[in-house]
Structure 1
């Protein structure tokens, strides 16, 4: 089995001779942000983060995904934050794409390498630092935690390469899911999975469900069905899908198609 890869876009501006046509699209059902538009000119500086810049990929907006914020973060050597989360009651998930990253949780330091992840519950003190000699790039997802009586989420740190993926039924292991949080534990109100399709594998129906998605392509290319549209996507692209946006996928190859998937789960619908 080939070693997994984790694509992080280059950020320099394209030359003036390039065509501006690309695959970026924003609709009320979904958004596609191709890797080619994640450039220096659209970065943000985040307060309380040193030597860091961010591409903000999703924020709650009317007519779009509303449950989460998602960033592509880039920390220079020596950079990081001792006070990364400005809001009480917000949980975080980090997934490293390039470089190395130290995440300190309640005084205990963990070193992440590519494929490494950390789930940070609300009210847990944490810090992040790039002690390496290269840029560290990672996905960062933030969500307002929905408390559930009798259930308290705990920090989780690991690497997706150390987790045995689960084969989706009837697919002969050609479509498999690596689950980084326990799907049966109601303490967690969001899940993070790495989804892998081998060439020729498909989602064989239009999934239509209440969970919103943030979807960052780690490796390969495919055509992805969103609402009534088939969109060609590749490693480094980002998609956000609002609730009930129909979706399906066809992985054409030549390599595996892999993506990091966020979804909100395990809570009753609030009506009041």
Structure 2
């Protein structure tokens, strides 16, 4: 295939990326043949996945809008993927807010390169190449320190990413690392794949595909997700199915039984 001029030469475009597969589910155009092929494999065994991705993106929009209403103007989006199809800076712009700052962080070189191309002319944004599993390293990045003021509240976004972090890598410690950097009044936004029932045969097939992908998926229950927040204060309604977090009619109704993700927002007091 032709290599776009923003794609690093050392990146294998024949290897699917979870960030670009997610973009494909959302109906975006920032993905390659390998990503679409993997996405189609999943959709063949579990067609609901695309709707679940859109539900997760709708949660992100609602959470960002809510925090903006609370006066938060700084957002650190960790494992951000490619910032298209209703991402953080677009939600803020749609709300008429002009003084916000958004830093996107991802470890996928293609996602980082493409994000920089997309956001080159967008004020108040920055893109950082970094591994969210190392909070100290991410927080020390010059772009993070240069754009965000950590003496003021920051919203840390971990949306649909911690299910790619196995238990032995300490997902709760990762959350705590970012929360420790925030002053009181900061927030942590999190969504995660998982459910509190047995997988259906179709879900088992889709899960098997992701478990054998370059970035294996780990499912966690709502109780397990709640523990990731440590001593942060959960906002109402707590840890719930993604589409049940303060719904406002901005998403398609989920198909009954297809809720396999949970979400919550917490505040540092």
Larger strand proportion of the pair: 1
Q: What's the TM-score once normalised by structure 1's chain length?
A: 0.31
Larger helix proportion of the pair: 2
